[in-house]
Structure 1
Amino acid sequence: MNRFLLLLLLACASVHAYGAKLNVSRPQGISLEISTSPDYVRVQVPTELLERRAYAEVSKAVRQFKHPVVRSMLLQGFSFGRGDTTHEIAIQIAVHVQHILGKSDCTVRIRMLLPLMSLANPRAVIAGSKANCDVGGDIAMLTDLSAKLSQSISDGIRNTNTSLPAVEMFKEPALAPLGSMVLANGDICLDSAGRDNLCLRLVWPTGVLDSALNAIASLAPAGHQPVDAAALAPLLTKLEEIAPYKDSVRYPGFRYPAKRSGHDYDDGDMSIFGGLLCSVGVEVACELVRRAQRESTGQFWRSPDNIGNWSYENQFSGDQFTGVINYLLRKGDTAALSRYLEFLSLQRHYLPDPVLRFGIASKSCLQDREFTCVLQGEEWFWLNFLANRHGLTQLVPADERDPAKKYGHSWDLLPYRAAFAEANYELHLVGVQIWTLQKAGITSPAIRQAAAIMASRQPLNPFYLLLHLGKDQRVANVVSQKCTTNLSNNEDEWAWERNESKQAWKNSMRWDCIFVIRALQ
């Protein structure tokens, strides 16, 4: 049976593929295990998302009583019941209520049902609730407190359709055939932080997955003709004149690309965008990424002025890492790579913490409360690729030199990620990986199919068209339509990482347009 795992980018996760050998996954991710005989997926949903809904309904119900003060509310338990056509989720919450007449400690149990469903419209039905309260003081006069609380909660949530984590991509016309699934079974499982997740097993008919991916890829726009790069030159020149720069505080006299909103500048994501711009020859962007590394430690940060910034919950992330890789591919900075590998070799951490020790992994930063700096298969692929190119293999930890074996890493997973990632920044990150592979001279049928799937899903995104068609006039036509030189007070979007429906190009930071146009030269 041919199996592999994907970290699916739905409402709350970043894309990451991993294999059976993986011991660490990104928390809050929704993972899929896919088999081709028969086709099925195992979906992992953080129970926290369901618990929050129940918690909110209990809070609302308690507020219906006169003069209550909820002193505390604790999620005590979560259980899962299997059925042939419907699964039951039971959530137990402890509520301590202080009333003008006394105090009460209640235990509330809420039942949620997951019926057979389509991923185009996944719903959970909250079927009812029950509360048991121990009362004290004059509040004992309210002998029916438990019944009233139960009824209040039930009235508020009984038979209410409750959305599960967004699976908006299955509403896209290109992905509609994948939306019909049957829930087969499920269980409680743990994520990398040791937290409860709800694992569901959903089934397709055999062969549907690969056939659907081929069909989606076939819908991608066809090429038009070789690009007329000269015709784009005036637009490029004007964009480069008006694109926003931030005056560096750390490096007086140095100005680098950044987002701008009014008089405020945002450089929190400039390692990824700077790396992409560097890859098409924007030298100031290369310098941006070079200066984002603290030479004394080797650590890369989000931008030059963010070096030493501990106000970010996540000092770095996997997307910023891709920008660093693009810089290293473009500039061949052996010294920077050497410093970085030495830094990473010292960042071996127990996950989620030294006490639980659910797993061990390297991190690319010192602070990441959402585990965004954990290095996995893709990161180690690129670090090994560059280390081999620069003769620095000895600086890669011995147990990280074969990411295919350790993590199940394979670029053959890209078409699935291109199909399942939500059409916003998550899908853009898949595109960045394809771009990076192309710049490194790496190609395969799977990589090309992934690019076609992205162009099929968002056919008016010039970056996705560029990945699929290369230097084609169709790409130039689309980017010319979206990239204007009109003055704007907000230049705060890298438009290609947004769903086309958001029309983010209207607030383009200009550098996104410069990136695509330079790539067409």
Structure 2
Amino acid sequence: MRYIYSLALAIILPVSVYAQNIPNELVDWWRGNAPYCIDSNKVKFPGKARGGECDDGDINLFAGLLCASGEKIGCDTVQNAQDESGKWFRSPRRMQQNNLGRKDSFSPDMALGTQLYATKTGDKRAFRGWLRWLDDVRPCWIGDGPQCFRSPLLRYCTDDTENGCTLRPGDLAILNSTAEYLQTYPPTGDTKNFLHQAGGALSTIILADANLNKPGYSQHLTAVEILLLRAQGHNDDYLSAAALTLAQKQPKNPFFQYLHEGATKRVVDLTLSLCPTTETGVPRDASEWSWEREDYDQAWKNSMIWDCIFMANLLKAKP
């Protein structure tokens, strides 16, 4: 009888109840040794340490992931990367310094960080300002001024090379999901309808991407989308199948395994086996968000440590 009762509890209770926590002492050590960048206001934010220099080119994505996991500095970093016009940049430092004079000030990858932030914090004001900026920078195809007939295409930046900021069908579908979750929409009806039409194919696109995207950052972006959509309340068979596919393709990726099976002891142990410890020491080149690389690369050897903090937050057992 006791066995049956225990089995019933195992079925009813979330898996995370039984998960082993990553030791708080280790997480504190990670936080104390993770690299930072510094913006023009002398405010620190998460960064990569590449050759001893600050690398913040992809930080809006990673900060958004940290924010989604409950790390406040991640939320602050994304918030501080938006300027007064509503435009978002890759980091607070790049927002303050005109993207350091470079092109490609934003990208679809970075836009996921913004949406993770908006979903976690419910910051409708910032999200509304961003949607307004996206709508305002649509170019005129015919005419100008009040008579302008605008392109239906949206762009995350206007200084991109090779149309890298132009939203693809999957980007539009994800943006529509975030707009619906926040009940905050673009200011013009044609843009709102454009997003809504793309949203109908959302789950199908995610599953297709999980199966077709190349190993590495492309698969990681699909994983990020799954995390984002689940935070918005989506939980269908397509997302579950996509998470399973990613987990099977990259069995040493604890983020992918977490999306598939939750905060299990196996995922905790896998994370601990890959992240730095006081024994192994801080990586000499802390330049990788390990979970965006394929297993073969062994990018965890150069972990930026923030990727481990992200996993520790996700794996916290629920009371």
- The TM-score bracket by the shorter chain reads 0.7 to 0.9
CA distance in 2 between counterparts of 1:303 and 1:321 reads 12
Match of 2:251 in 1: 459
SS at match of 2:160: coil
Match of 1:421 in 2: 213
2:136 counterpart of 1:346: yes
1:224 Cα deviation after fit: 10
SS at match of 1:471: coil
Match of 1:306 in 2: 94
The counterpart of 2:121, out of the listed 326, 331, 334, is 331
Higher Rg of the two aligned structures: 1
Match of 1:505 in 2: 300
Match of 1:237 in 2: 28
2:229 counterpart of 1:437: yes
1:300 Cα deviation after fit: 0.2
Match of 1:392 in 2: 184
1:440 Cα deviation after fit: 1.3
Return closer, same or farther for 1:291/1:480 CA change in 2, 3 Å cut-off. same
Residue 132 of structure 2 aligns to which amino acid in structure 1? E
CA distance in 1 between counterparts of 2:164 and 2:297 reads 26
1:408 Cα deviation after fit: 6.2
Match of 1:64 in 2: none
User: What are the superposed Cα offsets for residues 425-452 of structure 1, whole Å, 9 maximum, x if unpaired?
Assistant: 1111111111111111211101000000
CA distance in 1 between counterparts of 2:200 and 2:234 reads 18
1:334 Cα deviation after fit: 1.7
Query: Structure 2: any 5+ residue segments left out of the alignment?
Result: 1-14, 142-150
Residue 456 of structure 1 aligns to which amino acid in structure 2? Q
Match of 1:483 in 2: 275
Residues 204-243 of structure 1: pairs in structure 2 closer than 5 A: 226-229=18-21, 231-243=22-34
Q: Report % sequence identity.
A: 31
CA distance in 2 between counterparts of 1:277 and 1:407 reads 26
SS at match of 2:139: strand
Contact 2:172 2:199 in 1 (8 A): no
Return closer, same or farther for 1:483/1:350 CA change in 2, 3 Å cut-off. farther
More divergent stretch after superposition (319-328 vs 259-268)? 259-268
Match of 2:78 in 1: 289
SS at match of 2:18: coil
In terms of fraction of residues, the more strand-rich structure is 1
Residues 397-416 of structure 1: pairs in structure 2 closer than 5 A: 397-403=189-195, 405-406=197-198, 409-416=201-208
Match of 2:4 in 1: none
Contact 1:377 1:403 in 2 (8 A): no
Contact 1:413 1:446 in 2 (8 A): no
SS at match of 2:251: coil
Contact 2:276 2:283 in 1 (8 A): no
Query: Structure 1: any 5+ residue segments left out of the alignment?
Result: 1-222, 352-358
Bigger relative contact order, structure 1 or 2 (CA pairs below 8 A, ≥6 apart): 2
The counterpart of 1:373, out of the listed 156, 162, 165, is 165
In terms of fraction of residues, the more helix-rich structure is 2
The counterpart of 1:474, out of the listed 266, 277, 286, is 266
1:403 Cα deviation after fit: 3.5
SS at match of 2:54: strand
Return closer, same or farther for 1:291/1:517 CA change in 2, 3 Å cut-off. same
CA distance in 2 between counterparts of 1:451 and 1:325 reads 20
1:378 Cα deviation after fit: 3.5
Contact 2:153 2:167 in 1 (8 A): yes
SS at match of 1:265: strand
SS at match of 2:153: strand
SS at match of 1:319: helix
CA distance in 2 between counterparts of 1:373 and 1:348 reads 12
- Matched residues, number: 290
1:349 Cα deviation after fit: 3.0
The counterpart of 1:267, out of the listed 40, 52, 56, is 56
Contact 2:213 2:219 in 1 (8 A): yes
User: What are the superposed Cα offsets for residues 333-355 of structure 1, whole Å, 9 maximum, x if unpaired?
Assistant: 1221121111111121379xxxx
More divergent stretch after superposition (403-412 vs 286-295)? 403-412
Return closer, same or farther for 1:414/1:392 CA change in 2, 3 Å cut-off. closer
CA RMSD in angstroms, aligned pairs only: 2.4
1:397 Cα deviation after fit: 4.1
Q: TM-score, normalised by structure 2?
A: 0.84
Match of 2:314 in 1: 519
The counterpart of 2:66, out of the listed 261, 277, 282, is 277
1:246 Cα deviation after fit: 1.2
Return closer, same or farther for 1:406/1:456 CA change in 2, 3 Å cut-off. closer
Contact 1:431 1:467 in 2 (8 A): yes
Q: TM-score, normalised by structure 1?
A: 0.52
Contact 2:131 2:185 in 1 (8 A): no
User: What are the superposed Cα offsets for residues 195-235 of structure 1, whole Å, 9 maximum, x if unpaired?
Assistant: xxxxxxxxxxxxxxxxxxxxxxxxxxxx8993112x43222
